[in-house]
Structure 1
Amino acid sequence: MSAKDLDFIPAGTVYTAEQITHFADPDTRNLEQAIVEADLLVSTPHSGAAIPEELAEFISPELTRRLQYDFTDVATAAIVKRWAEIDPRIVAVVNPHPRLVRDPNRPKPADVRGDLKAAIERVRAAGAWNPVDLSGVDAIRPVTFSFFPILQIPSSDAGLQRLVDAFAEAAEQGLGVYERTRDALTEQFVAHGLANGGTFTRLSFHDTMNTTTTREGAVNVARASKDQLPSVVALSNRGDALGEERDPQDPPTMQPAAIQRLAEAHREGFEVNDPGSVQLNKPYLGSQEIRADGARFRALSADAAAAGLQLGAVQAEFLREFLLGAAATAILHEPGTDWIVEDPEHIDAIAHACKRSWDAFRDAS
């Protein structure tokens, strides 16, 4: 498969905040009205799949369309957009760029070039296709989580600098818009809450498969049991399996009682009988988006208490097999180079289940 078979965003495309912000009834409500009537801001940091065309020359020739999409949470985009259409209690912001541009659910590197160079050196030391630990330097990854090459790295320092510059410039056309829009919306919600009280929750929405990819493109290699998601969703607040404080230096981003209610609401909303279908902080504790919001909300705790405002941040990591459905999952379990076609009816069903879950959470609060 060649670069022409991948999906690219036409060169020069610059997104606006309006294009990536979604809420119900935009023909009769403006954003300010939507914020007044909503209590939940949903973000999808890994929802983009198409690659800015400005980066095409740096993409590995081994990358297939299946691997391109598998390295994203692309299923979250359609689901969250549909959820926003049917639920006036949420506003959503959807990242149009893929995480390969830079991962907005990681701390933004102070030295992008240095981190990328360190990641490249680790990959080279491990050898092609071999597992490698990129902890701390994975905001831009040269390989996927299955250790397939993503980037074609220039051999010269000048070439590497050109790559870093191209990524930084491309990011400002979409990823940067997403980050600024997400943060501005958060502040608008907070300002409204401090003036009027109530509840405001930040939800970072993700998906992950319980299998990784073979060289032939079959997404069927089981993850280690410790890394496997429950059958529906893991909700994370940086706490333990009950949502309670795990580390005094890393406090929960959502109150334990609240995330426990949220878990039960998801069991109700998704109509599952097995309590284990929805778990807390397993296998993920939650990453940069909720950590940043949690810190912001803790700094506001006194003002929020005085205003009667309850603040919280939570990450939802859905099992991708569940979001895609059995038929699509079966296709991805077989070797191939292409991605699946999403099922609009299944997307609609998941979106309505998300709405039911958060309605149940509000009713129980």
Structure 2
Amino acid sequence: MSTASSRGRRLGASVALSTLIAGSLLIAAPAQAATYSISGTVTIPDDAPADWLADLQVDAISTVDGSVTYVDVDPVTSAYTIELDAAGQYEVAFYDAGYWDEDTWIQHNLATTWWPGTLSRDASAPLTVDGVETGIDADLQYGLTVSGTVTAPTATDPDWWWYSYVYAQTTDGSSWGYAQVDAATGAYTLVGLNPGETGIEFGTDIDAPMIDGKQFATEYWGDALKPWQSELIDLTGDFAGIDVDLVTVPYLTDVHWDPASPVYSDFDTEIRWLAAAGITTGYAHADGTAEFRPQGTVTRDAMAAFLYRYAGSPDWWQAPRRSPFSDVTTTTPFYSEITWLAEMGISSGWTVSGKQQFRPLAHIKRDAMAAFLYRYDDLEWYLS
């Protein structure tokens, strides 16, 4: 039995102390520590392999602090007992947790059941524990599946599949699933999912092999780069054909996710999203990797390029033959992006002697950046 907010281990129950009654030579007998536990049995479908019982887990989730106490189900008796540190209310979940068997992920197709017998966490009821709670049983049924294929660029390292994964979770937290990608076919199947709106994530581990200095971007169903922008699947049955083509982005050598790294950045996620969205390409190296230079400054022409790319690099835009700015010519780097910024009314520059200047190599000040973003936001309905 293990106890922790994230399935770690925690010290056990408190120790009763002897009590000395004031003014008396009598010593009270040690008080008995209160016992709190949840127990019951878990059954699986009659035609399911009996050894699936060995992989089942029961969680007791505190409604006070969200800490989780969990145990495995006895594979012989199908019984379980969770010893708790304190009385209180607990959400109780019965499910197959999945595990790694060397290089293979194992997870059985059983739907997560929430006490007192629902597949929806929102529809479940916390169990009040004020002593020994018995008969907290669950009857697990087969879950739903989501399947599809993941395609990688043809130049990908042959072992790319080992680092790739597909993850699904219902929006109410009722169930989740994890799947490997098949090395030969790129196929995957998520199992054990519950009905409801479900998000799908496609990704690779941070240490996946690079392709010409590039790495895979994490994607979400619906070609989204952020989970809350993804399309949800309303699972009412098994779903097939949830396919994705992985895309690559420059590997930024001076931005790292690990705080122990000398090039760690507090804004690692945001910077990598900027690269994945195609908003920045960084400063290229000969091997195909790039630097972001997170402590550097942003010039006004680069800011114009960022916003232009954020708008999707609109293919309808035709840069004018004559520049609206006296200090920007048609051969100036980011000419198309700068003139687009002016056309959209995001920046008008400075009026000097009756002419407009953009000052492309000047560093953009924070107040000007605020103005750019404020004006851009007003145009999003038009640009989308």
TM bucket (normalised to shorter chain) is: under 0.3
Q: Which has the bigger relative contact order, CA under 8 A and spacing at least 6?
A: 1
Normalization by structure 2: what TM-score? 0.19
* Higher strand proportion (structure 1 or 2): 2
Greater share of helix: 1
**Radius of gyration: which is bigger?**
2
